[in-house]
């Protein structure tokens, strides 16, 4: 009987207690081998080339060299999938920008149940990360052409009021969504985004995007209007739907069951956009593991929407866009850096 190759994991954390907890619990999984640990970034930098891990779990906040500087060096010298294990902190997004694949929120160690949920999530994301494509930070090659398109973009008032853009993403999606939104001009139809992300982080993510992008970006609240020049990010642990009220769109952000394994779910968003906007919508499915969003995007396309899937070459994990493409949900596949141009061209 063939034995599946184990995922070799290196744990980097300065806390003796937390390191031991991770080693003890991850070692219980048959397909994971904890090959060692590092007490700080310098220690990790010395050990990674010889240990050759498949995945590194990294605490962002450590004494000495911080996780961000470490990541920037590591990605140049020894690119390896890095999974952040962090508390609620803005530095997570800087680390993702520096090349980390994904993150898991550190648990409240006083609750055994919270820790068990954390270990399950960590295990799931280690498995995903082991197959992820390490993304080196780069500047989009189409910037010059894009600037011309964005500068000359002038949609009619009808399109601004009736069109809606829906984006869904998971692993690797924080940076992919950012790369699209920061290229869009202020006079763009309203945008709704579902990114798989826990509560707390969605608000910080929206605030970060708002600082970088020309458009306004905010975490959605139940009843918010979908307005031109604004993107609404689905709040963590809520299901966000788009509803048409009279001549405008609003969002409902309510508790509910997980759909396609997620809350927020891309399928929930895309299905609602298909019903509310029909052909007056553009759907974009980005990097991520699994199939969340694929069936919803298919429904959007069947209702006449223009649908875009991120291509394999630029995905951190070519899962969700692959399933969407395979079931016929995607009108066109594209490199991430060209998706904003496709949106602008379609809205002309």
- DSSP characters for 116-148? HHHHHHHHHHHHHHTTPPP------TTHHHHHH
**Nearest-angstrom CA–CA distance, 244 and 239:** 16
**Nearest-angstrom CA–CA distance, 91 and 65:** 14
**Nearest-angstrom CA–CA distance, 312 and 169:** 14
Residues with catalytic roles:
170, 196, 292
**Nearest-angstrom CA–CA distance, 40 and 332:** 44
Q: Are 116 and 109 in contact (CB under 8 A)?
A: no
Give the SS3 label for residue 296. Answer: helix
**Nearest-angstrom CA–CA distance, 110 and 28:** 21
Would you state the torsion angle of the CA atoms of residues 63, 39, 99, 168, taken in this order, to the nearest 10 degrees?
-100
């Amino acid at each position: 009987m063939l034995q599946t190759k184990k995922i070799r994991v290196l744990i980097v954390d300065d806390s003796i207690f937390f390191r031991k907890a991770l080693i003890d619990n991850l070692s219980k999984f048959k397909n994971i081998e904890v090959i060692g640990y590092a007490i700080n970034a310098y220690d990790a930098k010395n050990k990674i080339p010889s240990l050759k891990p498949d995945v590194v779990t990294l605490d962002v906040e450590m004494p000495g060299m911080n996780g961000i500087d470490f990541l920037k060096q590591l990605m140049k010298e020894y690119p390896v999938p890095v999974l952040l294990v962090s508390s609620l902190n803005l530095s997570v997004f800087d680390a993702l920008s520096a090349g980390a694949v994904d993150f898991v929120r550190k648990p409240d160690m006083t609750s055994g149940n919270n820790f068990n949920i954390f270990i399950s999530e960590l295990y799931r994301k280690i498995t995903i990360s082991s197959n992820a494509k390490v993304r080196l930070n780069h500047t989009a090659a189409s910037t010059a052409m894009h600037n011309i398109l964005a500068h000359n973009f002038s949609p009619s008032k009808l399109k601004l009021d009736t069109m809606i853009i829906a984006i869904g993403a998971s692993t690797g999606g924080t940076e992919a969504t950012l790369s699209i939104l920061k290229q869009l001009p202020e006079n763009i139809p309203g945008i709704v985004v579902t990114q798989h992300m826990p509560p707390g982080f969605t608000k910080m993510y929206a605030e970060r995007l708002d600082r970088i992008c020309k458009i306004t970006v905010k975490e959605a609240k139940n009843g918010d209007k979908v307005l031109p020049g604004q993107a609404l990010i689905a709040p963590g642990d809520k299901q966000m739907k788009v509803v048409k009220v009279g001549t405008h769109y609003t969002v409902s952000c309510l508790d509910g069951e997980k759909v396609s394994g997620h809350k927020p779910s891309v399928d929930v968003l895309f299905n609602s956009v298909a019903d509310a906007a029909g052909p007056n919508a553009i759907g974009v499915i980005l990097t991520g593991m699994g199939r969340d969003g694929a069936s919803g995007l298919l429904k959007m396309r069947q209702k006449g929407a223009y649908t875009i899937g991120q291509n394999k070459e630029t995905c951190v994990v070519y899962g969700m866009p692959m399933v969407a493409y395979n079931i016929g949900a995607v009108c066109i596949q594209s490199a991430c850096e060209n998706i904003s141009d496709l949106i602008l061209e379609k809205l002309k």
